[in-house]
Amino acid sequence: MERAALRAAAPKVKPVRTVGTLAAVLALIAGVAVPAYAATQPSAETVSLQDAAESEAQSIAVDAAVKAEPLGGAAYSATTPEEIEQAKAEAAAAAAAERAREQAEKAAAEQKQQAEAQQRQQQAQVQPAQPQAPQAPQAPQPQTYEAPAQNAGGICPLPAGSYYVSRSVSSGHEGADMVAPAMTPIYAVKSGQVITSQEALGGWGVVVAIDHGDGTTSLYGHMTYGTRQVQVGDTVSAGQIIGYVGSTGHSTANHLHIEYRINGAIVDPLNYLPI
């Protein structure tokens, strides 16, 4: 009963007022204690300045302790006047040697050329140039010709329609000239035996002559080189091809010069042959 009476008589504390009072006390303590504690600690700026001072002092001490070492001989080069003169002399000697070598090579080449020229000259004197034989012309292209005219006296020496007569027997001219294209076939006017066949004979040039065995002979001049079809001693028949028209010997154009003889005397072939 007494305890109940005491509890009833004790004053009642309000919770809200008690909490507010406690908060005010804590704030007062913080306002006084925290600044006092901060005053006892060094600032970041103060520490940095001290560290920098100590680092600078150490750098100065290290620099003072370092001593410069002398450079070795390999770290520099120098050229004395004597060395310069020696280098010039060596360069001049090398240039002179190169010029001497070039002159020697040039002289050797000239001597070789002279020796070769002398050798060629000696060979030319020992072995005279041989005359070159005329080259045979190309084979004539196949061509169709009309049959030569013929009569009792014989056969025309050229195909019909392939020629014209530009000259006959006259003073200083012992035959008839029958102008025709080069390589026109030439026929034997009569049968007989070849008594002349040469590549070059006087003004006739390439020439063939035939003895017909009846006192008559015929001669065919100015043929093309290398086209003779018969040789001395050959027997030919009338109308057989014995060569081809050309312009060899004393000739200025392609033609056949034909001579006709009876018992050795020159006669005009136009009077005996179908020309």
pTM of this prediction? 0.50
Q: What is the pLDDT of residue 57?
A: 45
Amino acid 177: pLDDT: 97
What's residue 24's pLDDT? 59
Q: Parallel, antiparallel, or unpaired for β 255-262 and 265-267?
A: antiparallel
Residues with pLDDT less than 70, the chain: 1-79, 125-142
pLDDT tens column, 110-148 = 988 888 888 888 777 655 555 666 665 555 556 789 999
DSSP structure class, residue 70? P
Q: What percentage of the chain exceeds 90 in pLDDT?
A: 47
Beta carbons within 8 Å of 249's beta carbon, 6+ residues apart: 200, 201, 202, 203, 204, 205, 206, 207, 221, 222
Domain 150-271 sits in CATH at: 2.70.70.10
pLDDT at res. 15: 46
**What are the angstrom distances between the C-alpha of 131 and each of 86, 203, 204?**
69, 20, 20
Mean pLDDT of the chain: 79
Domain ranges within the chain, ordered by starting residue? 150-271
């504690």: which residue's tokens?
A: 37
Q: What is the pLDDT of residue 272?
A: 95
**Cβ atoms within 10 Å of 205's Cβ, excluding its own:** 21
